[in-house]
Amino acid sequence: MPVAPSTHVDGSPDRLEGLPAQAARGQAAVRECSYRAASVIVAAMSTTVLVVEDEQPIGALVSTYLRRDGYTVVWARSGEEALAELSRHPVALVVLDIALPGIDGFEVCRRIRARSQLPIIMLTARDEEPDRVAGLEVGADDYVTKPFSPRELVARIKAVLRRAASGAVHGGETLTAGDVALRHDAREVTVDGAAIELTAKEFDLLACLLEHAGIVLSRQRLLEQVWGFDFPGGTRTVDVHIAQLRKKLARPELIRTVRGSGYKALAR
């Protein structure tokens, strides 16, 4: 394949005697790019997504886009089938419809949360606030309404997976406030030594607040840092999760509401 003459950054042509070195550097760059691309593909292919959707066109569309991005897809058409598939495959994330034959998506989410902090994205035609809040309260990490963009759904899946893996970045760091302790590596929260069960999103929200203890964080900033993008439920989502945290931690003084500004955790 013909190769165009290379140029320096300033636009001047390479000298003839520099061509062998340029070729070697070019080959090294190509190998590096190929290695990086292969690493991304392998990482995606090692990630299994469980799609729980009873509508054939939607399930097929979502599965096709995920496979194009290199994900392994397991497709379940009912809640019962979804729970069975979870025990058969190393699922990293669940895309879960609410209106399913048999047990509905809310109940499937509850049963998953009873045994795991597996990331869950609700995929549904219900766009009413009570339904969004109900999904969040049973432990959903995100909420996408139909009709939707398959590309946006894939982007959200990637964002949720990145956030789920963010605990590894902090290693064994432990954040404390009073008798509340949060361990990033174990994704564990204790109050006065007793373990507290939190959803993945509640854990991430508490971690964000403790990392910025003593600093007021607006609802919009919390939404962006914890959810990663504009969530369909708006900033009301943050209020719901704060209320759940206060209830579970039983330490109302830990997270203060700053009227007109947002929330802040007590300084350590």
Helices (H) and strands (E) in the chain, counts: 9, 11
Return the structure tokens found at 30.
């190509």
Please state, in angstroms and rounded to a whole number, the distance separating the CA atoms of residues 32 and 27. Answer: 9
Q: Could you say which of 151, 166, 181 is where a domain stops?
A: 166
Question: Does 253 fall in a domain?
Answer: yes
Contact 255, 209 (CB under 8 A): yes
Please indicate, yes or no, if residue 190 is contained in any of the structural domains. yes
CA distance 238 to 219: 6
Q: Which tens digit of pLDDT belongs to each residue from 167-185?
A: 544 455 788 898 999 988 7
Q: Which domain holds residue 70?
A: 44-166
Count of all residues that appear for the chain in the document: 268
Clarify whether residues 48 and 146 are in a common domain: yes
**Partners of 121 in the β-ladder:** 95, 142
Query: pLDDT tens per residue, the chain (268 residues)?
Result: 444 443 333 333 333 334 344 444 444 443 444 434 333 333 444 699 999 999 999 999 999 999 999 999 999 999 999 999 998 999 999 999 998 999 999 999 999 988 887 899 988 776 666 776 777 778 888 888 888 889 989 988 988 888 777 654 445 578 889 899 998 878 899 999 999 999 888 998 999 999 888 889 999 888 877 876 555 556 788 898 999 999 999 998 999 999 989 999 987 6
How many CA atoms within 13 Å lie on the side-chain side of 28?
6
The answer on 176 and 160 residing in a single domain is no
Tell if the pTM clears 0.75, that is, is over it: no
The CA distance from 228 to 223, in Å, is 7
Provide the sign of the torsion angle of the four alpha carbons 135, 136, 140, 144, taken in this order.
positive
In a shared domain, residues 179 and 74: no
